Amino acid sequence: MTPCPVRHLLEDLIRRRSVTPADAGCQQQIAERLAPLGFVLEPMRFGEVDNLWAVRRGAAPGPTLVFAGHTDVVPAGPRQWWHADPFEPTEREGALYGRGASDMKASIAGIVVAIEEFVAARPGHAGSIAILLTSDEEGPAVDGTTRVVETLRARGESFDYCIVGEPTSVKVLGDMVKNGRRGSLSGRLTVRGVQGHVAYPHLARNPIHVFAPALAALAAERWDEGNDYFPPTTWQVSNFNAGTGATNVIPGEAVVDFNFRFSTASTVEGLKARVQAILEAHGVEHSLAWTVSGLPFLTPRGALSEALATSIRAEMGVETELSTTGGTSDGRFIASICREVIEFGPPNATIHKSNENIDIAWLQPMKNIYRRTLEALLP
């Protein structure tokens, strides 16, 4: 049986214990494969985070296609929850197991081999190929892709197309790609009350009781109707803390963590103002701290989505669905300097779980989809 170069590289990457923010040599391994192809390599380290920016300029002017991804993985968790060592790739019933197998070391392996094949066949291609890798996607995402994008923006660089190798498929490779993501806006609300004895409530003010009507109003609010690409914006409480632990003490304050996942139909400032108005309407004495971890981005149908859909159809015989569901990704940073951003990768059913795995049969067609897309966009 002919060895699969994608699998070989994937197994090497899985063995590298690159738990955020560690890269564990993954980017160096990839750089060593890109250098002979004529890529100019630019490692960028910010804080404890390794990033790699690599570019191959073509023989003639043309568009720039960027492949983006992350070499870091989430912690594996207790060893007893895994069939085998999560950092030793193991085959079971046609699947390859290991932390990062589907999120997203398989995509990285497929991208690298696809580029190798493309350059070997078309050394004089037009346009440029680039790779952007970080070891800070699964963590705070402060010193990773966003810092690289800031550096590139300061140079005046911008790009035409970007494929982020996130695991977007659902049941079959290529059945779904992401052409946008919702924004994420979080708030920490501190509701001020007056602590006291539960037997003398007239001498206290219970912040839970004070906030309850406003909570109901916030939960019932219709923030927007979404649009053709996004579902309506959602608001959810993630933590609610109050009290001393004693059963006879009215708490002096309550702390509420909440999050908006919002579409392009809403803005950060608009959502903030509406929350503030509801709190004031219900007389809630409070302080409120906001955090924006990502703005929404959207790539309408265009050259990139069509090239990717055609490549998926040719390899898998399926019609891909454009979707903006799910969490955030580094695409939110890249979209600020790139005209079209699409995420595509393997099925995501086992990501972040124990016994994470990928169907081995999908490795070759995934690589071929990346290569076909290169062929379509960089003649």
Residues with catalytic annotation? 72, 137
Q: Which stretches of the chain are assigned E, i.e. beta strand?
A: 40-46, 49-57, 60-70, 90-92, 95-97, 126-134, 159-164, 176-178, 180-181, 183-192, 196-197, 234-242, 249-250, 253-262, 286-294, 297-298, 321-323, 338-343, 357-359
CA quadruple 229, 233, 234, 239: dihedral sign: positive
Query: Before 21, cis peptide (omega within 30)?
Result: yes
Element (H, E) at 275: helix 268-281
Buried b (16+ CB within 10 A) or exposed e, 173-193: bbbbbbbbbbbbbebebebeb
Asked whether 324 and 179 are in contact (CB, 8 A), the reply is: yes
C-alpha to C-alpha distance for 90 and 329, rounded to whole angstroms:
28
